[in-house]
Amino acid sequence: MTYDPIKLEIFKHLFAAVAEEMGTVLRKSSYSPNIKERRDFSCALFDARGQMVAQAAHIPVHLGAMPLSVQAAVDRFGDELHPGDLIVLNDPFRGGTHLPDITMVSPVFFTTEHTESTEKTRRFSADSANSVVNKSVVGFVASRAHHADVGGMTPGSMPVAREIYQEGLILPPVRLARDGKMDQDILEIILSNVRTPEERHGDLLAQIAANQRGAVRLVELVARYGRDEVDEAMGQLLAYTKRMTRRLLASLPDGTYRFADVLDNDGVTGAPIPITVAVSIAGEAATVDFTGSASQQQGSVNAVYAITLSAVYYVFRCLLGLDVPNNAGCLAPIRVIAPAGTVVNALSPAPVAGGNVETSQRIVDVLLGALAQACPEKVPAASQGTMNNVTIGGNYPLPWGPGQFAYYETVGGGTGARPNANGISAIHSHMTNTLNTPVEALEYAYPLRVRKYAVRDGSGGDGQFRGGDGIVREIEVLTDCQVTLLTERRVHAPYGLASGGSGKCGENVLIRDGKESSLPGKGSVDLKAGDVLSIRTPGGGGYGVKSS
């Protein structure tokens, strides 16, 4: 079926603009520094069947996972969905990733009334549900945001747990709003199970606002171009991305490419955790097989299937190029095998807090290591391979009485050297696309003080092209509190390629009374006011042989 390429390009940007504007609304109206400053969220647009049509340039780890959340909402409610409904969920085993990532899904309806005037279309919102006639779902919009605390055994809800129930409040797909009316009982349950209810309330409202904006914009597109034209454009964009992915696969030499790497440990035992992959290219199709990877672990490094799917999506999406839209067509020619009960497809009630942030990075590392054999000119050496997760929380005296705070941060590091250039220093890479929390915002919001924030010189791997350097971030706590660390590449360094050197491993250090002591890569520790936490992140691997 042929389609006007100019029109297709226009619709590609129209759909992407819906997701981007949702993200702008979410960021500007959010309450917490984690969302407002770090931008730890994603927004996306889906067709009436729940296929992702466009995702804003937000968080890669959400690429393959958000469609499963939409599917979980559709599977749960199906024909019971009405205009003004809002589904909320975070259950990793029903479409989520890990518990702090709360997803909101909104069905978008279009009616004959919306075509009567542009002004009426602009006024469309959940409040108009009672006046809808000839309703039909034209698509879905969804937002996902990392909430700095959702309960659990430690502040920040990123503990080294033994089961998911220790990690926080679990939300299966439930209706937070029905026919445009908020279910206050559900909201109260959520806010009563978190340490920072005011902050959570503000961020949840911001997500609601983002979904409402996305719904309005999609309705406007249907009113302007017609339902058939919008549906066809969505289908054509998915088909276009599928063709581009097939073309990419056809450009790679047929064969099976294998690679293996390890996670340092699960925080419970000290044993390394292998992740293996075999990427088989056959013409315009690929099979990505993780058979042979470790069984699911006691500690919270387990990844659910959605995370593994996202990592595969991200890697092949990187090879496609920037002009190809982010949508479900990318994965259509790729078969993913992740055996159930393994660290790359864990089963309930496995703890999963670190699977989203740490195991996802190692899955990317093994995928790139395998594809470096098929297209070495396109693949860099390993980047830092961790998000360096830091959560700090405790009691905090406020002017109006006692309160609690929960700070969450991921810290950047070095990227791997490329076949023709050095790696980049002091930046987030791969499955996280967040920013840092600016020093001013951090010190304003929390009883914390940043003592040092610098490039970790010399941490990148040697080679013809050097890996990027990591970061040193030192935070003084101004009150007694608890710190939880979920970090990787503290034992096994990021690999180099083409005989390039490995990046330097990261370090976690406690500085108390001027004396340094090492902290584990994963675990919780109580700090006293005046203690300094020093996070020294890994550098990226080098590429090629260093000339003498």
Percentage of the chain lying above the pLDDT 70 cut: 93
Instruction: Give the Å distances, CA to CA, from 121 to 54, 178, 208, 224, 249.
Output: 22, 21, 19, 10, 43
For residue 6, the tally of other CB atoms under 10 A from its CB is 8
The pLDDT assigned to 326 comes to: 85
The DSSP element (H or E) to which 199 belongs, if any, is: helix 197-225
Per-residue pLDDT tens over the stretch 233-271: 999 999 999 999 999 999 999 999 999 999 999 999 999
The pLDDT assigned to 131 comes to: 32
> Reading across the β-sheet that carries 448-456, which strands appear in turn?
448-456, 470-477, 532-536, 507-512, 515-519
- Lookup: tokens for 234: 């969505």
The pLDDT assigned to 135 comes to: 60
The pLDDT assigned to 31 comes to: 94
- Lookup: tokens for 37: 């400053």
Instruction: Give the Å distances, CA to CA, from 67 to 46, 246, 422, 427, 538.
Output: 8, 21, 35, 28, 32
The pLDDT assigned to 4 comes to: 87
- Lookup: tokens for 215: 């719904």
The pLDDT assigned to 1 comes to: 55
The pLDDT assigned to 124 comes to: 36
pTM, whole model, 2 decimals?
A: 0.93
**pLDDT < 70 regions, the chain:** 1, 63, 112-135, 322, 398-402, 548
Distance CA 31, CA 447 (A): 17
| Sign for the pseudo-dihedral over CA of 213, 147, 71, 290 | positive
Quickly list DSSP for 99-128: TTEEEEEEEEEE-GGGGS-HHHHHH-SGGG
CB neighbour list of residue 285: distance below 8 Å, 6 or more residues apart: 246, 249, 333, 334, 335
Instruction: Give the Å distances, CA to CA, from 358 to 7, 193, 307, 352.
Output: 40, 26, 10, 10
The pLDDT assigned to 433 comes to: 84
The pLDDT assigned to 133 comes to: 32
